[in-house]
Each structure stands twice: as C-alpha cells, then as structure tokens.
Structure 1
Amino acid sequence: MATPEINEPTPVKTEADANLPATDHPEAETPAAPPVPLTPEEKEEQDEKKRRLLLLLLLLLLVCLCCVCGLLGRYLIKKEPLPNIIIPTQVSVCTRPAYKFSINNVDGPVSVALSPDGNRIYAAETGGSRLVKVFDRDGNFVTSFAPPGTDKANREPKYMAIDKQGRIFLVDRTSQAIDIYDPNGNLIDAIIGQQMTLTKYIAQQSGGSVPRGLIITHYEGINKNLTYTSDLGLKTIHLTIPEENYPFSPLGLRFDADGNLIYTDTTTDAHSVRVIPAAALEGDLSSFAPVIAAFGSEGPGNEQFQFPQTVVKDGRGNFYISDGNNARVSVWTPERAYKTFFGFGQTQGALNLPRGMWMARGDCLVVADAVGSTLRVYNVSGDEPQFAFDIGEFGLEEGKFNYPIDVYIDGTGRLYIADRDNNRIQVWSY
C-alpha cells in the first residue's frame, strides 16, 4: 500500500515575529560584505585583458575590411555581375478621409480639377448651361466659362486636367476635341486631331505662321466653324481636318508626374489609351506633331477596353485604367504591356461602373464607382492590388453619393468628388 503524502504544516507568523528587529528575524538575510579592493597586480592583469580584447576586435574589423576590398577588387577586375539583393516590398497603409463640406451650385458635375496653387476649383457640369464653374478654396463662386460663341446645345464638357502652367485641358464630346484654356477661362487652343491643333490649322491657312494678336472669338466644334481676330482683322473659317488625324475621340484626361498627357480614346472599334509626350505640349502648339504612344483595343479581353475612362500611374510607373463597361481596373506595365486586372466580380471591392480615378499618397488608388455610389480604395503598393475600404455610400445627405463620377486629390490631402446626381462637389480631407 502506498504511503500517503504528508504536507508539512506551514509556520504561522505571529505579530511578535513581525516586530522583531531585522537582525533577530528568523528569515532575515545577512547584509552583503563590502567589496575588497583590487591589488595593483590584479588591476594590471584586468587592464591587460581589456587591451587584448580590444586588439582582437580591431583585428576582426581589419579582416572584414580586407574581405570587402578583396571582393570589390575581384568584381572590378572580372566584371562579373553583383548578386541580386532581394529587398522586401514596402506596403503602405491607406487611410480614411473625413467629410468636410459641399459646393452645391453646380448642375450635374462630371469632372473636377484644381489650379496648380490649389486656390481655384474647376467643375465641369453636364446639366444646366454646361459650363465650367470656378470656385475658390472655400467653395465660393468666382466665375464660369465655355467655348466662345456657343450655347449648351453644341457643347458637352467631360473630363479635364490642368498642367503645371495652369492651362486647362477639357474634353468636349460634342466637338470631339480637347479644348485648351488659360487660367482665366479664355480659349487659347484646342487639340482637334492626333496631329492637329487650332493654332496649327490657322497657321497652315495663314502662310505658315500664326497671325499676331490672335484671339478666338467663336469656336463651334460640332460644326467645325471657327472665328478669330488678329492683327489681320476678323476671319471665319470652316475646319476641314485631314483624315490622318483620326481616330480621335478623347474622353478621359490625366497628366502624369512628367507632364505627359494621357487620354482615353473611344472611337468606335478603336478604344485605346494614348500618351502625348510633355515636350509636344510646351509653348506654342502651332507646330504640334507629337509621337503618340498607344496601347489596347476594343473588347472584353485582357488587353482590351470598353469605354476606358481615366488613366493614372503608380510610383513604379504602372498604368491603371478604369475600364468602364468591363467593370474593372486594367493594369499595364511602364512599357505599356498588359499585366493584370482587378475589381471585376462579386467579391468585396468589386466595381460596378468605374469612372474617374486618382492615385493618392503611398500608391493608394481611389476609384469613383458611379453605379456603386461610392469611392473604392485599393492599396496597389505591393505585388498584388488589395481592396482597402469604401469612402461614402448611396444617399442624398451630406457625405453620401449619388453617381460619383470623378475625383481629384490635392497636395494638402483634400479630396474633391464630382457627385453628379446630387448636383454638388464634395470636399473630404485626410
């Protein structure tokens, strides 16, 4: 039979024990003895050990330096490639903005952009008088403009982009042109074909140069009628654009960081993305002759588009195209080779009708989903795009959307959203 385990009774500490002096207490510890000072011989021996350790460390550093120099010399002499160094991809974190206020006196806004200094907000409206309205940073109305000599029946503003000089590039779908305005809303030129501008056409009709003092007083693009004044007087001409300037049916516009103008073309059976180099847009456009890079075709396939809307680029130079009627974002490499697509399907972050886009800091892609009545945000800083979150939802109240169609983000972290069917520009901020 096993012997039962017997627990030793725990000593009971009495009040008297607690009041005993520390030296008399049964459990008191003996104080530590003071350190014994080293003799001169022991101190010398200790210092010698430190010197030897320091010398050893210096020798190790010298050996490492010799190894590095030897490897460097070997690669310089033999010209062999250095081994690849794998650096982990740094994935950013997309942050949520907060609603600030709305600019309400716009009629069906379809595009929004800002002046380079951020002090002017431009909103193109497709309802009402179809004007471009200008507001200050607080949302106060400043002025409005449109192609001179036109009425709402023969103009239809769509997407716009503003270059570093403050020139406003605005697509007019009625005239199938990219109108160019100065910061005050005066029409100064227009791209009317792949290789043609208004000033180039005028120069060709005027002996090879643009007349001095040129002012465009009437431009009815849909009927190709142009009236202008100059030092030579008033003149009206009918534009007959050579066939080599087509296809040309621009829709979406964005400038990249290098000043290249990227536009989407929706010519029937020729939907594509086209890039006009920055150098072709400098100064006088009377000799406009860009070498346009193009990619994509019309259709539902991987390398195709169906009504492509806007194009933006990430920090690595990849192109992102809101492929409207294919309900997805198409991704292409900096060399304009097809890479992948995302946003299509029924999963979280799926798109319904993607329209305007903007690339926020840290490669966070903001997509205006018009039918979804929200802005979908994707983190594209890593190897694979990741859905992050939505901004807003359907509704008529402040901070809600009804067919959001375009978005612009300025350098201060403000978001400007063209909330078309709520007839307003919403302003959010990070």
Structure 2
Amino acid sequence: MMKRYIAAVGIMAGVAVLGSPLALAAPIWDAKAGGTGAGQGYLNEPAQVTLDSQGRLYIADRMNDRIDIYDGAGTYAATLGRSGSGQGDLFRPEGIAVGADDRVFVADSGNHRIQVFAANGDVLHAWGQLGVKPGQFNSPGGVTADVYGTIYVADTGNNRIQVFDENGTFVHAWGSRGSKKGQFEQPAALWAAPDGKVWVADTGNHRIQVFDSSGNFLLQFGNKGMGPGKLFNPQAIAGDGNGIIYVADVNHRLQAYTSTGIFLKSWGRFGAGEDGLNLPTGLVVTPGGMAYVADSGNHRIVDFRVNSAPTA
C-alpha cells in the first residue's frame, strides 16, 4: 500500500524559536545518491533509510522492490531482494531497520510481513501475513529495533504498533483507529530511542506520539498545517545524539524539535535543487549530526549535516 501523499507548497524554511535551548545551524548540503531508474545505483521512490554499524546506508527502494546498500562514501555496494512474494522477495518495501548485530529487518509492505536478512545478505526468515490477529499485518509501513533487540512495527493498515522479540515472536501491541491519545490513523514510521521511548509518526492525524516500551502514552505534539512546527502527513522520524528529534513531512521539509516537542527549526523547500525536497519519506540522523533523507519524489537520497549543538 502506498502512503498517502497530499501536495503542499509555500513552506517555511530556517525558522527558529527565540530563546531556544539549542542552536541549529544552517545545514551543510554534502552529497546526493541515486537517480531515477531500476539499474544498480538508481532509485525509484525510495521509502525509509537506516545505517548499520559500519556506516553503510540501507535504502528501502520501494518501487524497485529491493533494498539498496551504499557504502560510507555514497557508492553503490549491493542489493537485497527482488520483486516477488517468495522467500527473500519483496513487494513495495517501506520500512527498514538494522539491529545491533547488523541483521536487517524489512517491512515488506505489499507482502504484509517482516523479512530478515543477515549482514552478508543471506535470507534468514520472515513472519506475518495479511490479517488483524496478533503477529499479522496490513501493509506495515515502518520498523525499528531498540538497543535490546526488540522489534517495533508500525502496522499501518491496522492502525497499531506491534512488538516482537528479535526472532519474530509476538510480544504485545497497542493502538486502534482514532484521534485520541494512543490511537492512530495510518502510522507510517517509528523510532526506538536509546532511552526506551518509542516515537511514532501518526501520519493521518498529523502528529507525533511518544510511548514507553510497554505502549503507555507519554506525550504528543504537532497538528495539521504548513506553518513552523506544524505537520502534514509526517512520514519519517529520527533522533540524534543531542536530544533533538527530526521529522520529515509532506510539506517537503525536515523539522527539528526538542525531546518535549518544542519546535526548533525547519529546513528544505519544494523542489529538485540542492536544498529542495519532494515528498521526503525516510530519515536517519547520526550522533554527529549527519542526516540522510529519502527524497522520494526526486528518487534520491539527500545527505547533509544539520550541525546540532547545545548552547551555553
């Protein structure tokens, strides 16, 4: 299932809150990877992205039904999967996560399952099928792994978060369709923070919700709009090493917030130029402040430094 995209224009860029406890410099745009196509090194609507322990970038290359891997220099290295429904095959992969042991977990959205690959690319196993029971999925859109090996899945079509151990055994789930605290409307992505919190891009409700690892609601922020701090169908979420949370939304931008949801700054504008974005759907940020954004509509990965640093 494709994520819902609604075109938006007239976004704000580079807006900061006065008196903010953090200083976020203008980004240094470093490089781009990709280009439209199906050959090696090309992308077709990349979805979510992540990094392994070696600094290699993994891209859920959605419309090419595969995972593309780039080395730390941005050079194409390898591919996982191919179009299909058999073991190791993929159909419209959306989410991707790498565990502490560098196993690769893929939200194989069109096949309604999670597939697992070894660091060397070997197919290990898969779990899930279309359905509403525990351990079943309806177009899972996001997957993340915490520091303990627990796997969290944004079960987009079922409007819930499901939790599994590292072997795919169901642990628990939370959420239902709605707009109240703890409810969801097609959650597209999520991020497990090192402190145990789970941050969810509640896409259809135009907000971010935060939970503890047991699914207890902690806080929420964001509402529908195009102004600073507002969100429009948020598609990706990630944090860095300075306690800053980054969100990519269909306003064609990346926004930064404190860990309590206070808006700090935004970057990007609609376009295909150096600082342009077109429907960003994936995001990962390193502790050093390097952001990799899946610029889906431009069929590329945008790579830039956000340079976050605490102020005195």
TM tier, shorter chain?
0.7 to 0.9
Which residue does 1:78 correspond to in 2?
none
1:377 to 256, 274, 297: 256
Residue 399 of structure 1 deviates from its aligned partner by: 2.4
1:107 to 27, 37, 44: 44
Contact 2:283–2:291, Cα closer than 8 Å, also in 1: yes
Contact 2:144–2:192, Cα closer than 8 Å, also in 1: no
Which residue does 1:139 correspond to in 2?
74
Find out whether 1:124 has 2:3 as its counterpart.
no
Which residue does 1:254 correspond to in 2?
144
Q: Which amino acid aligns with 1:113?
A: T
Write the distance in 2 (CA, Å) between the matches of 1:134 and 1:175: 21
Contact 1:94–1:379, Cα closer than 8 Å, also in 2: no
Indicate how the Cα distance of structure 1 residues 146 and 244 shifts in structure 2: closer, same or farther if over 3 A, else same.
Answer: same
Which residue does 2:290 correspond to in 1?
414
Q: Which has the higher helix share?
A: 1
Find out whether 1:321 has 2:224 as its counterpart.
no
Residue 315 of structure 1 deviates from its aligned partner by: 6.0
Write the distance in 2 (CA, Å) between the matches of 1:326 and 1:149: 32
Indicate how the Cα distance of structure 1 residues 302 and 403 shifts in structure 2: closer, same or farther if over 3 A, else same.
Answer: same
Write the distance in 1 (CA, Å) between the matches of 2:99 and 2:186: 24
Contact 2:144–2:153, Cα closer than 8 Å, also in 1: yes
SS at match of 2:230: coil
Find out whether 1:266 has 2:156 as its counterpart.
yes
Cα RMSD for the two superposed structures: 2.6
Residue 332 of structure 1 deviates from its aligned partner by: 2.7
SS at match of 1:354: coil
Residue 319 of structure 1 deviates from its aligned partner by: 2.8
Residue 170 of structure 1 deviates from its aligned partner by: 0.6
Gapped regions of structure 1 (runs ≥ 5): 1-90, 194-221, 223-240
SS at match of 1:165: coil
Contact 2:66–2:90, Cα closer than 8 Å, also in 1: no
Indicate how the Cα distance of structure 1 residues 162 and 94 shifts in structure 2: closer, same or farther if over 3 A, else same.
Answer: farther
Residue 372 of structure 1 deviates from its aligned partner by: 0.3
1:311 to 166, 190, 196: 190
Residue 345 of structure 1 deviates from its aligned partner by: 3.9
Write the distance in 1 (CA, Å) between the matches of 2:54 and 2:71: 11
Find out whether 1:158 has 2:71 as its counterpart.
no
Write the distance in 1 (CA, Å) between the matches of 2:264 and 2:285: 18
Residue 133 of structure 1 deviates from its aligned partner by: 1.4
Find out whether 1:93 has 2:93 as its counterpart.
no
Residue 137 of structure 1 deviates from its aligned partner by: 1.3
Higher Cα Rg, which structure? 1
1:343 to 222, 233, 252: 222
Write the distance in 2 (CA, Å) between the matches of 1:162 and 1:313: 12
Write the distance in 2 (CA, Å) between the matches of 1:106 and 1:244: 34
Residue 344 of structure 1 deviates from its aligned partner by: 0.2
Cα displacement string for residues 278-316 of structure 1 (whole angstroms, at most 9, x for unaligned residues): xx32xxx4xx544x1322211122221001122224565
Cα displacement string for residues 182-239 of structure 1 (whole angstroms, at most 9, x for unaligned residues): 123222211226xxxxxxxxxxxxxxxxxxxxxxxxxxxx9xxxxxxxxxxxxxxxxx
Q: Which amino acid aligns with 1:178?
A: I
Q: Which amino acid aligns with 2:163?
A: V
Write the distance in 2 (CA, Å) between the matches of 1:335 and 1:177: 22
Q: Which amino acid aligns with 1:262?
A: Y
Identity %: 24
SS at match of 1:174: helix
SS at match of 2:100: coil
Contact 1:102–1:424, Cα closer than 8 Å, also in 2: yes
Q: Which amino acid aligns with 2:44?
A: D
Q: TM-score, normalised by structure 1?
A: 0.59
Which residue does 1:294 correspond to in 2?
173
